[in-house]
Chains A and B, each alone.
Chain A
Amino acid sequence: MGDIQVKKQPKQYDAIIVGSGAGGGMAAYVLAHAGLKVCLIEAGPMFDPKTDSNQLKNPWESPRRGASTKYRPFGDFDGCYWGWEIDGEPYTHVGDTKWEWWRARMLGGRTNHWGRISLRFGPKDFKRKSIDGLGDDWPIGYDDMKPYYDKIDKMLGVFGTNEGLPNDPDGFFLPPPKPRLHELFIKKAATGIGIPVIPARLSILTKQINQERGQCFFCAQCGRSCKVYGDFSASSCLVIPALKTGNIDLVTNAMAREVLTNKEGLATGVSYVNKEDMQEYQVFGRTVVLGASACESARLLMNSKSPQHPNGLANSSDIVGKYLHDSTGADMGGIIPELFDRKRYNEDGVGGMHVYTPWWLDNKKLDFPRGYHIEYGGGFGQPSYGFNWGIEKMQEMFKIKGQQKEPGGYGSTLKEDFRYFFGSHVGMAGRGEAIARKDSYCEIDPEVVDKYGIPVLRFNTSYTSYEINQAKHMKETFKEILHAMGATVTWGGDDGPHNNYGLHAPGNIIHEAGTVRMGNDPKTSPLNKYSQAHDCKNVFCVDGGPFVSQADKNITWTILALSMRTSEYIVDEMKKRNI
């Protein structure tokens, strides 16, 4: 490209939204339906689950039989483009930081493949500092958020049950699916030792809610995205419907470079590089809404330096990038010998667990703050790459039809063993709340750029004994439950102090949040309580960035509720001519 030039788009938009996932997609939906003219910038290609999903493909349709690649780390059928590594888009670490950064590049972002676990934060989750003195309280509370949770429950659909729990609020739920067999085993065992097990809360349509979206047909493949829009993805449920308003110009394969500002310090638009023609473009609008993901939005702000904003946009507090945190995670699995040689039937169910365990204990009696919930798996899964890998361990541990076999082997006797063990596995995963800390953060690497010349993020994060002790507790709990159900631990049982009790590397759970947090004090928070930049009133952030803390609840439902609230605020402020 000999002659590089910047192409300025002549159209003046009401809003420029960066990113089309849960946050950006919801903003696009609300703003476009309010009649505003929107330019939606997405770093990846177009994606419509109706035509592009790998749903109902058979294992043999993948030459690698569903194994993962760097292009699809969750397997060949997965509904998310890219993941931990993207060609030409590096990120770096300080010291022994292990941060893993998932980046989706497609319309709808990572919501095309997420677990659909849709949990409201509870009243305590917004006011944790008042309870345990750690981190900060949110500038808003559950009462501010409840109307938005209510609206998205009804608009997007979520199954579950009203249990009247104090910190796991009731909602507007579709009926949940009945537990599978291994889930009945889990429920019986866990409740028997005082650990509650209740119906899961997933944004999957067990009943039809409108004419645009179909009903779940129980293929267990939400991770591939749903052709009938039977589960929530930002592509199928927000952006694609919003495009029908005619108020959105969608620009795909556009990597945002910088938020542009004028002499008054207000945002005027966004510059981006078009990945197709590698040309530089600028689009202009009255407001800029960032939904690029917690870390990408922070990166974009820090890279948007100007005389008016010398430390990056919305960053006079120097807080952008700070307080980065992910859910904690630790897992364990086992075998239920009672389920050997079980009767075959279709137990695919929905794409995820039918039951789960919300946090049930009092931290005053524990050596860590904050809680975790438990997700469950198991049963007859569709065979894929790695099916019964290392069967010799199973043959060593368990008798087969009363007989102790030589582990390993071959032939028709081996084929019998594969049949005998199928469907007897059970797994559990703890997902907990880490403490957001100022000294655990991402920043701009002073030396490294990506292939577009955009300075990249450098991660400098750590865990403390809070998170490690929580992982230890998870592991002890899992062992108790597995023991109570007569299961034998087959993996995850050897973790201990040597490896932080199997605590996943931060970032690995893909719930990163906190990098552009909200707060009432401009000195300690980039955003106000409407996710509006203190330093620049026409810049907003609607992804995981604004979170002050993230509870032990998967953050998507709260991203959606916050984004809807912010988007309605933008419409209102525009009507009042405040922005």
Chain B
Amino acid sequence: MDRRKSIKALLIGGVSASVIIEACNTDEKKAEVPKAADAALPYTLNRTKEEQAYERELLSKIFFTPHEMATITILGDIIIPKDEISGSASDAKVPDFIEFIVKDMPEHQTPMRGGLRWLDMQCLTRFEKAFTDCSHEQQMQIVDDIAYPVTKDAKGNITSKRKIKPGYEQGIAFFSLIRNLTASGFYTTEMGGKDVGYIGNVPNQWNGVPADVLKQYNMAYTEKELKECVSFDKV
């Protein structure tokens, strides 16, 4: 069973409390089970020989355990749920992106793995269950405690007026990381790009800022610009 299917099965079947035990017994090395090397890479990009070897190495490993992936999937869909404009993080396969990116950027591995465990330990203490086994209300109680960070300037001074709940700093740092990764994973898909309204990456003719937009911002092209710049007949 490939990993995506196994996660799906986990989600459909619900995650039993035994998963937390399994998670507790899993160390980093054990999780990275090598897969059979794929002959062709599933990408369409131009790659050098060295890049191909590197991509193969990444794809031969699995980092997150099924339990961790299930947690990532739930958190991702809390961060980016389906709404009237677009689908959810899991609709856009964000968990698969997060699995890949932590292998590509190993600096995210320990913060993600440790953050997920921090979350489960919070849940165990408060609700005697893993995060995935908590009720939605219980999950949201914890999320609300870690979803609102204080902001800092470049020198590390806190710029927020609000305060955070003591003891939750690590959980907050983790949630900020997974929010960032989820946003990267979601808005770089076709669904996410459409959601945010990126209209580009297609051959076209740049004719300048549309007239109604110029008017909205009280801007105008100068006669010099209109004379000198390239323009195209309306298509």
Contact surface of A with B, Cβ cutoff 8 Å: 45, 52-54, 56-67, 69, 71-72, 76-77, 81, 87, 159, 161, 174-181, 184-185, 188, 199, 206-207, 217-221, 338, 342-350, 380-393, 396, 406-412, 414-415, 418-419, 422, 494
User: Is the Cβ of B209 less than 8 Å from the Cβ of A71?
Assistant: no
Which residues of chain B have C-beta atoms less than 8 A from A350's C-beta? 206
State which residues 188-220 of B face A: CB under 8 Å: 188-190, 192-193, 195-210, 212-214, 216-217, 219
User: Is the Cβ of A177 less than 8 Å from the Cβ of B212?
Assistant: no
Q: Chain A's nearest CB lies how many Å from the CB of B184?
A: 5
Q: Chain A's nearest CB lies how many Å from the CB of B91?
A: 13
Q: How far is B91's CA from A213's CA once the two chains are assembled, in angstroms?
A: 42
User: Is the Cβ of B44 less than 8 Å from the Cβ of A408?
Assistant: no
Q: Chain A's nearest CB lies how many Å from the CB of B212?
A: 7
The interface-forming segment of B17-25, B97-105, B128-136 is B97-105
Q: How far is B172's CA from A178's CA once the two chains are assembled, in angstroms?
A: 45
Which residues of chain A have C-beta atoms less than 8 A from B160's C-beta? 396, 407
- 8 additional A-B residue pairs with CB within 8 Å, beyond A77-B45, A408-B179: A53-B46, A54-B46, A69-B54, A69-B104, A161-B228, A178-B208, A408-B148, A418-B187
Which residues of chain B have C-beta atoms less than 8 A from A410's C-beta? 78-80, 143, 147, 179
- The reply on B231 being an interface residue by CB < 8 A is yes
User: Is the Cβ of A387 less than 8 Å from the Cβ of B230?
Assistant: no
Which residues of chain A have C-beta atoms less than 8 A from B201's C-beta? 56, 58, 219, 221, 348, 382
User: What are 18 of the A-B contact pairs (CB < 8 Å)?
Assistant: A57-B44, A59-B189, A61-B45, A63-B104, A71-B51, A179-B208, A199-B225, A217-B204, A349-B206, A350-B206, A383-B193, A388-B187, A389-B180, A390-B180, A391-B179, A391-B183, A411-B81, A418-B195
- The reply on B159 being an interface residue by CB < 8 A is yes
Which residues of chain B have C-beta atoms less than 8 A from A387's C-beta? 183-184, 187-188
User: Is the Cβ of B44 less than 8 Å from the Cβ of A347?
Assistant: no
Contact surface of B with A, Cβ cutoff 8 Å: 43-46, 48-51, 54-55, 58, 78-81, 83, 85-86, 97, 100-101, 104-105, 143, 147-151, 153-155, 159-160, 162, 172, 175-176, 179-180, 183-185, 187-190, 192-193, 195-210, 212-214, 216-217, 219, 221, 225, 228-231
Q: Given contacts A218-B205, A407-B151, A419-B197, are A57 and B45 in contact (CB under 8 A)? A: yes
Q: Given contacts A63-B55, A207-B230, A344-B199, are A494 and B184 in contact (CB under 8 A)? A: no
User: Is the Cβ of A219 less than 8 Å from the Cβ of B202?
Assistant: yes
User: Is the Cβ of A64 less than 8 Å from the Cβ of B44?
Assistant: no
Which residues of chain B have C-beta atoms less than 8 A from A219's C-beta? 200-204
CB closest chain-B residue, reference A87: B50
Among A52, A65, A184, the residue within 8 A (CB) of B185 is: A65
Among B54, B183, B204, B208, the residue within 8 A (CB) of A418 is: B183
Q: Chain A's nearest CB lies how many Å from the CB of B199?
A: 5
Q: Chain A's nearest CB lies how many Å from the CB of B24?
A: 27
User: Is the Cβ of B183 less than 8 Å from the Cβ of A63?
Assistant: no
Q: Given contacts A346-B200, A380-B200, are A65 and B188 in contact (CB under 8 A)? A: yes
Which residues of chain A have C-beta atoms less than 8 A from B85's C-beta? 415, 419
Which residues of chain A have C-beta atoms less than 8 A from B79's C-beta? 410-411, 414
Q: Given contacts A56-B201, A57-B44, are A494 and B153 in contact (CB under 8 A)? A: yes
User: Is the Cβ of A54 less than 8 Å from the Cβ of B149?
Assistant: no
Identify whether the interface residues of B are mostly helix, strand, loop, or mixed. Answer: loop
User: Is the Cβ of A415 less than 8 Å from the Cβ of B229?
Assistant: no
Q: Given contacts A67-B105, A387-B184, A393-B151, are A415 and B78 in contact (CB under 8 A)? A: no
CB closest chain-B residue, reference A218: B206
Which residues of chain B have C-beta atoms less than 8 A from A87's C-beta? 50
Which residues of chain A have C-beta atoms less than 8 A from B80's C-beta? 410, 414-415
The 3 closest A-B pairs by CB, nearest first: A178-B208, A59-B188, A217-B203
CB closest chain-A residue, reference B227: A175
User: Is the Cβ of A415 less than 8 Å from the Cβ of B189?
Assistant: no
Q: How far is B159's CA from A502's CA once the two chains are assembled, in angstroms?
A: 22
Which residues of chain B have C-beta atoms less than 8 A from A207's C-beta? 230
Among B45, B155, B205, the residue within 8 A (CB) of A76 is: B45
Q: How far is B193's CA from A251's CA once the two chains are assembled, in angstroms?
A: 42
Which residues of chain A have C-beta atoms less than 8 A from B189's C-beta? 59-60
Q: How far is B80's CA from A305's CA once the two chains are assembled, in angstroms?
A: 63
Which residues of chain B have C-beta atoms less than 8 A from A347's C-beta? 200, 206, 209
Q: How far is B155's CA from A494's CA once the two chains are assembled, in angstroms?
A: 8
Q: How far is B98's CA from A385's CA once the two chains are assembled, in angstroms?
A: 11
Among B54, B78, B216, the residue within 8 A (CB) of A71 is: B54
Greatest chain A CB density within 10 A among B79, B101, B147, B155 is at B147
Q: How far is B208's CA from A178's CA once the two chains are assembled, in angstroms?
A: 5
Among A66, A71, A396, A422, the residue within 8 A (CB) of B151 is: A396
Which residues of chain B have C-beta atoms less than 8 A from A384's C-beta? 184, 188
CB closest chain-B residue, reference A64: B104
Which residues of chain A have C-beta atoms less than 8 A from B213's C-beta? 181, 342-343, 345
Q: Given contacts A52-B46, A349-B206, are A176 and B187 in contact (CB under 8 A)? A: no
User: Is the Cβ of B206 less than 8 Å from the Cβ of A58?
Assistant: no
CB closest chain-B residue, reference A207: B230
Q: Given contacts A348-B206, A386-B184, A414-B80, are A67 and B101 in contact (CB under 8 A)? A: yes
Q: Chain B's nearest CB lies how many Å from the CB of A36?
A: 31
Q: Chain B's nearest CB lies how many Å from the CB of A112?
A: 11
Among B97, B196, B207, B221, the residue within 8 A (CB) of A383 is: B196
User: Is the Cβ of A396 less than 8 Å from the Cβ of B159?
Assistant: yes
Which residues of chain B have C-beta atoms less than 8 A from A66's C-beta? 188
Which residues of chain B have C-beta atoms less than 8 A from A71's C-beta? 48, 50-51, 54
Q: Chain B's nearest CB lies how many Å from the CB of A453?
A: 20
Which residues of chain A have C-beta atoms less than 8 A from B78's C-beta? 410-411
User: Is the Cβ of B151 less than 8 Å from the Cβ of A392?
Assistant: yes
CB closest chain-B residue, reference A391: B183
Q: How far is B104's CA from A388's CA once the two chains are assembled, in angstroms?
A: 20
Which residues of chain B have C-beta atoms less than 8 A from A221's C-beta? 201
Q: Given contacts A406-B162, A412-B81, are A176 and B230 in contact (CB under 8 A)? A: yes
Which residues of chain B have C-beta atoms less than 8 A from A344's C-beta? 197-199
